[in-house]
Amino acid sequence: MNIIWEALGVSLAVTLFSGPVVIPLLRRLKFGQQIRDDGPQRHLKKAGTPTMGGIMFLLGVVVAGLWLGNKSAEGMMLLGITLGFGLIGFLDDYIKVVLKRSLGLRAREKLLGQFVLAIILVWFAVFHFGRGTDLALPFSGTTFDFGWLFYFVFAVFLIVGMVNAVNLTDGLDGLAAGTSALVAFAYVVIAMTTGKPGIALIMAAVVGGCLGFLWYNNYPARVFMGDTGSLALGGSLAAAAVLTRSELIFLIVGIIFLVEALSVIIQVISFKLTGKRVFKMSPLHHHFELSNWSEVRIVLTFWLVTVIFAVFGLAGMAVDLSLLWD
């Protein structure tokens, strides 16, 4: 257990100490955030804030993972998937910020990379790590084997969907980093109770990295994580869910990510079918902004909801545990 806390501490320290180096470097390279004109007007003052800061906590996670990791195959897979999604995000940020192509990677390019990584992860989880193709139904104490075809489709789309949901959540100072830290901590608990210390170590490093990043990203943010960070976080959390057989629990623990994504889907469908919007703006955090909630209030509320559902999800995991690893 001590090594788990050490991983958290090392990642936290590396991230904190990287700030005074990385943030000025991003400024000198003019890697500033471009703010959309159609977003909340209060965000316009954030234009020029350095982005791609996800590099900071990725550095912390890598150092902690390689230095303290027991080189478990699953832990290294989790670390590799995290870096893989981070690379996709980095390319997207680089194209947007440096090459000045406002939309970054084309949607099909970004999705192709995400689906390839998701397929690789699921393949190794099922055929090399003994994950199987069963799903535990939360709070029911039962599992059901859907077969490899259904499970592959479900797991791959879950990974890609939740990765992009975390990306959508990254819209307010401290929102994505804080919620991700809480969900990652829940996965430290889940990994330890399911006999996955390698997964627990990497997730502890993610917690430490997010906490270190929050020092610079809390309101008013001195740096943004960019897609480099948000895609990496989404990838790490989704991969941990697959490797610990807790995909449906992830939908509970990561409720904020799910709701943020659903708000966008609902908004698009409603507007296309009726010409009316359900929310003042999507994702959901923008709706609250336009309802005159302060940025800090929204972030703290979303953090609190994450804590509540993390506890709820862990309770469901406890009910199912005896069946998952019998």
Pairwise CA distance, residues 253 & 242, whole Å: 14
Sole residue written with tokens 């390698």? 198
Whether residue 283 is preceded by a cis peptide bond, meaning omega within 30 degrees of 0, is: yes
CA–CA dist 114, 110 (Å, integer): 6
What are the tokens at 72?
Answer: 């478990």
Check whether 167 is labelled as a binding-site residue: yes
The annotation status of 227 as a binding-site residue, yes or no, is yes
- Which of 49-80 are b and which e, b meaning 16 or more Cβ less than 10 Å from the residue's Cβ? bbbbbbbbbbbbbbbbbeebbeebebbbbbbb
> Backbone dihedral region of 170: left (phi > 0), alpha (psi from -120 to 50 degrees) or beta?
beta
The β-bridge relationship of strands 142-145 and 134-137 is antiparallel
H or E, element range at 20: helix 2-28
Burial of 308 (0-12, 13-18, 19+ CB in 10 A): exposed
DSSP H stretches of helix in 36-174:
54-68, 73-97, 107-127, 147-169
Which residues make up each annotated binding site for Mg(2+)?
A: 167, 227
Which residues make up each annotated binding site?
A: 167, 227
